[in-house]
Structure 1
């Protein structure tokens, strides 16, 4: 079975950096490497070695992201920690210098939960494998959803569903609990902890994580949660309707949605749509309208995925609003009732 092509949104920061430098060439790469730490050079170099081919569309997206970053982060870049330490060392009294340097060093140490965010998902999964599911839930709820979804992919199915259920139940976590977790992690990864009240978890977090998991994994997890807490599973499902799910709608329901979508929004939303979604939508608009959209899509140049996703989300929001108003039913979202 052929390996699916790499997608820009699946790449890690290190992978994007490696691709960018491969595109820029050896001379530019050597100049960049001079400004990086040994650990950063090793990480990027390992990615480069494993890359045999960078598809042209992917290269354009990586370079485009770099150009955008140049505009957004224009200014002076400095090594702040070195600047501060050098400035303190020239400030006079040796005893005061020593105290200030210790305080600065303590403040700049990475917290365990921040370190987890920088670790490979497989390594994190191995690190957490022996932890209680509640501890795993608390730790993973502090991470970005895409990182959490990758970590979960290395855990057994029953553990995934248990952890996700517990994340959904989390609301607030006290500083003492965070400290306890970080103290335990400190012994594992050798970094210092810090206290901070955090709001973690909840259904929105679970939905965000599930949306980033492989297709099919979300259904397995929800099925297991459904066995434990049907109301929780239903609450999660109600927030999981996506643009691809438009194919589940009956034609009258889809037509109600499309009547509220302007042509430009629909065209851009279909730029990255699956053939099934395109076919479903084209069969519910006029032949002329479908032909015009197909012509515009063929003439359309490269478009940022974020713009396409934004237009798709606009249409999803219309569907959800119409469902709330009771004008249509979305299958799988408590939609077994019949409208009368």
Structure 2
């Protein structure tokens, strides 16, 4: 609560505009530049409850006629109402998304919180092209789970369309977003366009072994070229044996200690050696003994453990913490 505390320029403007009311406030917004609107609306959303004393102090600088102004409340809802009156709906939504920050992420992020069963049941009645646009906007792991729940022929049609989809027309994307927003009460947003083959490779990385084999075989029958391009982009657990040793060592330090033995239980001998090579002899011996003591394990559990480690590796690579390609390999000569 602001109570007789010094306020800066943007806060003063926000308090004054709240005191003037929504109609006058909207007219003022119309006369401002976008950066001014952004700065004042951000300050307005963070004001909280404003005491009458503070309102009087600010308004007296502008006019002595507002000395009896009652307590005002500046919050997300009041700010959004004012912006919607002054700006086009799309622009107001974009500014509010920036103000809300992580707690009000994009509509596509919110869609990722909808269970795959619910989303699959909704999408199975949509056109394959619409489903391709939607799955192209959500996280690969979630998209993989949704695809696995859709009829196989329908899933293959959707994946083929995802590979062929270039830039989605704004009107089409707007229509899809409006429908989803009404269905899932989500926020308007737009994500960055990604290469469709990279996107599909990420989705295949998140299938379990059985589904990956089934979908890849079906895709090979439809388009061998598409299948080969996806295979070349896929990063698998076995690929970790080719990353720089320093990067692998950093990855080992980040992995859940209970996950690694299970993941290595289903790994090749070469990959096990690569992981053990990052450890002291004593720690490596303990890990080897732990792997041996596991006994028979379900393939499903091994796949899940390996997928978790691959995901951690990708997140670390995205953050610039490790390299997923051994740069030394590019310097080798073929004689």
TM-score normalised to the size of structure 1?
0.50
RMSD between aligned residues: 4.9
The 1:122–1:325 alpha-carbon spacing in structure 2 relative to 1, beyond 3 Å, is farther
In the aligned structure 2, how far is the partner of 1:274 from the partner of 1:161? 32
In the aligned structure 2, how far is the partner of 1:297 from the partner of 1:143? 36
Could you tell me whether the CA contact under 8 Å between 2:205 and 2:235 is conserved in 1? no
Could you tell me whether the CA contact under 8 Å between 1:149 and 1:212 is conserved in 2? yes
Could you tell me whether the CA contact under 8 Å between 1:170 and 1:202 is conserved in 2? yes
Could you tell me whether the CA contact under 8 Å between 2:201 and 2:233 is conserved in 1? yes
Partner of 2:249 in structure 1?
265
Partner of 1:119 in structure 2?
114
TM-score normalised to the size of structure 2?
0.51
Partner of 1:277 in structure 2?
267
Deviations 1:286-337 (A, max 9, x none): 99x99556147589xxxx968973699878623x98499687xxxxxxxxxx
The 1:178–1:97 alpha-carbon spacing in structure 2 relative to 1, beyond 3 Å, is same
Aligned residues: 228
- The unaligned stretches of length 5 or more in structure 1 are 1-82, 247-253, 328-339
- The unaligned stretches of length 5 or more in structure 2 are 1-10, 30-79, 98-103, 290-307
Corresponding residue to 2:81 among 86, 89, 102: 102
Could you tell me whether the CA contact under 8 Å between 1:173 and 1:200 is conserved in 2? no
Corresponding residue to 2:20 among 67, 79, 92: 92
In the aligned structure 2, how far is the partner of 1:276 from the partner of 1:130? 38
Partner of 1:210 in structure 2?
204
Could you tell me whether the CA contact under 8 Å between 2:238 and 2:271 is conserved in 1? no
User: Is the aligned partner of 1:140 residue 2:135?
Assistant: yes
Which one has the largest radius of gyration?
2
In the aligned structure 2, how far is the partner of 1:189 from the partner of 1:94? 29
User: Is the aligned partner of 1:294 residue 2:254?
Assistant: no
Could you tell me whether the CA contact under 8 Å between 2:111 and 2:186 is conserved in 1? no
Structure 1 residue 118 displacement after superposition: 3.2
Partner of 2:226 in structure 1?
232
Structure 1 residue 261 displacement after superposition: 3.6
Deviations 1:131-174 (A, max 9, x none): 11111011110112222222223212222232222222223223
Once the two structures are superposed, the pairs formed by residues 1-340 of structure 1 within 5 Å of their partners are: 90-97=18-25, 101-104=80-83, 107=93, 108=96, 113=108, 115-186=110-181, 188-189=183-184, 198-200=192-194, 202-244=196-238, 261=245, 265=249, 268=252, 272=260, 273-277=263-267, 279-281=269-271, 291=281, 294-295=284-285, 297=287, 309=313, 317-318=325-326, 322=329
Deviations 1:112-147 (A, max 9, x none): 645423322211111111111111011110112222
Could you tell me whether the CA contact under 8 Å between 1:112 and 1:193 is conserved in 2? yes
In the aligned structure 2, how far is the partner of 1:215 from the partner of 1:132? 28
